[in-house]
Amino acid sequence: MSDAERIYSFRTLVPDVLQRERDQVVAMEVYDRGKLSPVTAAGSSFSLIDPGGTFVIDTQPITVTTDGIPQYSITAAELPDSLQYSELYQERWVLVLNDGTTRTIRRECAISPFLVYLPIADRDLMDGEYPDLIAELGNHGKTFQPFLDRAFRDVLELLWDRGQWPDLMLSSSAFVKPIRERAFFLIFKFLFRQTGGSGAPNRWQVLMDHHKSEMEGAWANFKSRIDHDIDGLPDSRSREATATVVQRNAHPIRRHRRSARW
């Protein structure tokens, strides 16, 4: 884009992971100067492209929510069981923006047999350890969900960066400690900031540093049973460490459809 064009923010925190033969919705939030910027549905479209450059979903019209967020509802039929599992898919959004310009945004995407879910809730940050922690947030919230959501995304991003695909890691309990400790770190970091760092030592800083250390330890020891052959079941009783690269073993599929390169 030229320097004269308006700079928008397109939220693509982690790659999308889609499940074959399942109805699901994808979205692309657009921000301008910190506020949601509405997208015009007319002229906007969504495409999904496979690792070989073939359009699985080819330039389909989108819908827009009342807040102006572009969405596309993927049907189960659009993700048939013939699609290969891979982390090399790409979403391609063509969006007509608030200033009248049209932008094309690409987003990494994976097709997976199963999805990874957040394995903990508010009570898991309080039961037996910090029973009154929610009250410490005061007027800033009545739930830890934003912290849990951020911690979940952070852990998934770390796995993606290491070339490990979370959907093949079947020990859901293995995700609990890294996510919980990351959430605690974020919560106590927020509370420390609220105090302005006063006190010597500040109790929130002590707890923040403690859970940062716990998170690093949990990450270093993160192990899971793996589904290398993608049949939905663990391949063995052994657990593999995060230092092991976990890849999908599917071979590329070629189809006689329009290529993304054409």
Q: What is the mean pLDDT of residues 95-116?
A: 92
CA distance 15 to 163: 13
Q: How confident is the model at residue 106 (pLDDT cuts 50, 70, 90)?
A: very high
219 assigned to some structural domain: yes
Same-domain pairing of 31 and 50? yes
Residue 227 clears pLDDT 90, i.e. is over it: no
Condensed to tens digits (0 to 9), the pLDDT of residues 138-196 reads 888 899 999 999 999 998 888 787 766 666 665 567 788 899 999 999 999 999 988 77
Give the domain range for residue 232.
Answer: 122-241
If asked whether residues 105 and 127 sit together in one domain, one would say no
Asked whether residue 90 falls in the same domain as residue 175, the answer is no
- Looking at per-residue pLDDT, the higher value among 197 and 192 belongs to 192
Confidence of residue 226 (pLDDT cuts 50, 70, 90): low
| Overall domain count for the chain | 2
What CATH number should be reported for the domain holding residue 85? 2.60.40.1220
- The pLDDT, as a whole number, for residue 252 is 38
Indicate whether 257 belongs to any domain. Answer: no
Give DSSP secondary structure letters for the chain: --TTSPP-EE---S-EEEETT--EEEE--EEETTEE---EEEEEEEEEE-TTSBEEEEEEE-EE-TT--EEEEE-GGGS-TTSPPEEEEEEEEEEE-TTS-EEEEEEEEEEESS-------GGGGTTTT-TTHHHHTGGG-S-SHHHHHHHHHHHHHHHHHTTB-GGGB--GGGGHHHHHHHHHHHHHHHHHHHHTT-STT-HHHHHHHHHHHHHHHHHHT-EE-B-TT-SSS-SSS--EETTS-B---PPP---SS-BTT-
Per-residue pLDDT, 262: 40
Specify the length of the chain in residues.
262
169, 248 contact by CB (below 8 A)? no
- For residue 56, CA distances in Å to 48, 59, 90, 198, 255 come to 5, 10, 10, 56, 10
Taking only the tens place, the pLDDT of each residue in 17-37 is 999 999 999 999 999 999 999
Q: Is the pLDDT of residue 232 over 50?
A: yes
What average pLDDT score do residues 60-71 get?
96
Predicted local distance difference test score (pLDDT) of residue 240: 54
CB 225 within 8 A of CB 238: yes
Q: Which of 11-20, 79-88, 108-117 has the lowest mean pLDDT?
A: 108-117
Q: What is the pLDDT of residue 229?
A: 55
Residue 254 forms part of a structural domain:
no
Q: Are residues 35 and 93 in the same domain?
A: yes
The verdict on 61 and 105 lying in the same domain is: yes
Q: Do 129 and 237 sit in the same domain of this protein? A: yes
Provide the pLDDT confidence category of residue 88 given band limits of 50, 70 and 90: very high
User: Are 132 and 91 within one domain?
Assistant: no
Q: Do 127 and 235 share a domain, yes or no?
A: yes
Domain stops at, among 86, 112, 138: 112
- Which carries the bigger pLDDT value, residue 193 or residue 1? 193
For residue range 90-102, list pLDDT tens digits in order.
999 999 999 999 9
> What pLDDT score was predicted for residue 140?
86
Does the residue 159 lie in any domain?
yes
User: So what's the pLDDT on residue 257?
Assistant: 40
> For the ranges 111-125, 154-168, 208-222, which has the lowest average pLDDT?
154-168
How far is CA 231 from each of CA 80, 97, 117, 154, 170, rounded to the nearest angstrom? Answer: 16, 42, 18, 27, 11
